[in-house]
Amino acid sequence: MKPVLLSADRDIFVYEVPDNIAKKLHNRCLDFISYYNNDPDFKRKHFDSKLNCVRFDVIREFIEYIDKLTYANFNNEKCVFIENLGNISEDEIPEKYKKCNWFNF
């Protein structure tokens, strides 16, 4: 398991994810984006009729997607939330996370 940074133009979250996901974080994130853009069930599940748009917590959904993906590949490792670094700039990222892969949705 390796730490990665995930954000969506707000707070930066640290998660430990399986090594194979951490190594290819950018690709896995793009796969997830493609999945939710092309899956009508996903859109139905998250459609907000009051706002007339699809709304969801992209980081939480990505972690669930990764957990299902690793389970489907017979790997029992689950992603683990480590901490919320808050809404900080790249310069403020703690030294221990500076070399981690980072994806901003």
Q: Read off the pTM.
A: 0.85
Residues 93, 95: Cα–Cα separation, whole Å: 6
Backbone angles phi, psi at 83, to 5 degrees: -170, 160
From first to last of its 105 residues, the chain has per-residue pLDDT tens of: 999 999 998 899 999 999 989 999 999 999 998 988 888 787 777 777 787 766 678 899 899 999 988 765 656 788 999 999 999 999 999 999 999 999 999
